[in-house]
Amino acid sequence: MTRVRIAALIGLVAATVLVLGAMFVPIELRHSAPFGFNVTFDRERGIAVRGGVVSPNYDSFNRVDLDLRAYQPNTTYDLTLHVRRSHARGADLRTIPFRLSSSEIWHNKAAFDNPFHTVRFPPIVNSAGRDYYVWVERGPGNRDDVLAVWSIKSYSSGTGRDALMAFLNNPPGDRAERVAQLAIWLAISAFVVTFAMLMASLVALALQNRDADIGGDIALTAPDRDAREMV
């Protein structure tokens, strides 16, 4: 096998392994929502509640990011996150206790502060396409302390393959569905080819440098051998 073919084969294998690895690496998939999160704060009426409805578009719903706002300074909040099916009576599906200080969730945030606090819980299977009510309960020591949830982001545990298949099965927009699917496959193929070419070039360069080093060693040792023969 020629040096060019060896380099091309190594590049193709490396690109394929990279793409397959990205497909199956565990990640957390953010659910679709207007503005990227579910708003519970009504600015016009100045009303904020302590919960809201989220609609996972993936299975294994396992995380919420809560934009919590506290109004009582120098206070420790003992809180409990409740997750249950929306519009359904019954026990909570998940109940997660957690504790925060008022300084961590103070209502007056700077412009570029991250207002969200992450709470994870065991994944809820078969959550895709269902509505869940998420709300925060104050502990007994915080009954008189004001606490509000301004917005909620929700996530599911999954892989890159889950995100890709969701996009291919439901591409954004109502038109040109097949065009969107074709475009994503072309983008993946172009990435594989480009990465393979890059890796092939690097391998070919390494092989060329190795051959040059070997040739240099031979050229340096040849005069020494001739000198010993003359003696």
Task: State pLDDT tens for residues 156-191.
Answer: 998 877 777 776 666 555 555 566 666 766 777 777
What is residue 160's predicted lDDT score, i.e. its pLDDT?
A: 78
pTM over 0.85: no
Regions in the chain scoring below 50 on pLDDT? 220, 227-228, 231
What is residue 201's predicted lDDT score, i.e. its pLDDT?
A: 75
Residue 24 CB partners (closer than 8 Å, separation 6+)? 159, 160, 161
- Could you give the CA distance from residue 147 to residue 66 in angstroms, rounded to a whole number? 12
List, in sequence order, every beta strand (DSSP E) within 11-103. 26-30, 38-39, 51-54, 61-70, 76-85, 94-101
Residue 192, exposed/middle/buried by CB under 10 A (0-12, 13-18, 19+)?
middle
What is residue 202's predicted lDDT score, i.e. its pLDDT?
A: 74
Segment 63-93, tens digit of pLDDT: 999 999 999 999 999 999 999 998 767 789 9
Q: How far is CA 212 from CA 128, 215, 216, 218, 220, in A?
A: 58, 5, 6, 10, 12
Residue appearing with tokens 């809560």: 66
Beta bridge partners of 98: 79
